Amino acid sequence: QELEIGLRSIAVPVTDPSGKVVASINVGTQSARVSVAEMESKFLPALLHAARELGTLLPR
């Protein structure tokens, strides 16, 4: 809720094959609908998986 009250988000870095951070992926939601624990347990694994998959598609 740093940017706006009632908004909660989580983000992960996307790295290229050399490990350099080149982008990020973010998911945001209303804080009344999703707890921090739920974001960590449900959204974080999916975001990390997507970031890894995207990273493998980037040129070296």
pLDDT score of 1 more than 70 = no
Share of residues in the chain with pLDDT > 70 (%): 95
When pLDDT is averaged across residues 26-42 and rounded to a whole number, the result is 94
Q: What is the pLDDT of residue 12?
A: 98
Cα separation of 8 and 5, whole Å?
Answer: 8
Residue 60 has pLDDT above 90, yes or no: no
- Does pTM top 0.95 for this prediction? no
Helical (H) or strand (E) element with 15? strand 7-15
Domain positions in the chain: 7-57
